[in-house]
Amino acid sequence: MQMTDVIGEYPFTLLATLLNSNQKIIPCTEHSKLKKELHLEGIQEHLAKALSKKELKELEKEQKKKIVQIEYEFKQEKNKILKEHFKDAKEMVSRNSAILSAIGDGF
């Protein structure tokens, strides 16, 4: 499942409601920082840009991550524990790849 191919097509965001006069602004967002600092010049053009294949792949990857609740916090579930990222890192090249993989997994 994919949310959208074009950033501006996703209707369930504060920015979408601010830019679309047909949508009601949710009362709890009435004093949001985005609403105060929004500059309409150029935003529509930016939102109309299609996402690249790389961006779509990254978005899809993030969407598939499970969200877990730990006490009162919500976090994305990690794919691996940190130690697993470095299990086979014997040389500098593989270590650097492991570092990038761990960062990508939220460490």
How much is the pLDDT for 42? 62
Separation of alpha carbons 107 and 102, rounded Å: 5
Instruction: Provide the residue range defining the domain that includes 43.
Output: 1-64
Q: Are residues 47 and 99 in the same domain?
A: no
Which of 34, 49, 64 terminates a domain? The answer is 64
**Which residues sit opposite 68 in a β-bridge?**
75
Please indicate, yes or no, whether residues 70 and 55 belong to a single structural domain of this protein.
no
Residue stretches of the chain with pLDDT short of 70: 1-13, 39-48
Among 74, 68, 50, which residue's Cα sits nearest to residue 2?
Answer: 50
SS (H, E, C) 36-93: HHCCCCCHHHHHCCECCHHHHHHHHHHHHCCEEEECCEEEECCCCCHHHHCCCCCCHH
pLDDT value, residue 1: 47
Whole-angstrom distance, CA of residue 104 vs CA of residue 12: 26
Length of the chain: 107
In this structure, are 7 and 58 located in the same domain? yes
Overall number of domains in the chain: 2
Let me know whether 49 and 28 are in one domain: yes
> 74 with 101, same domain?
yes
Residues 33, 48: one domain? yes
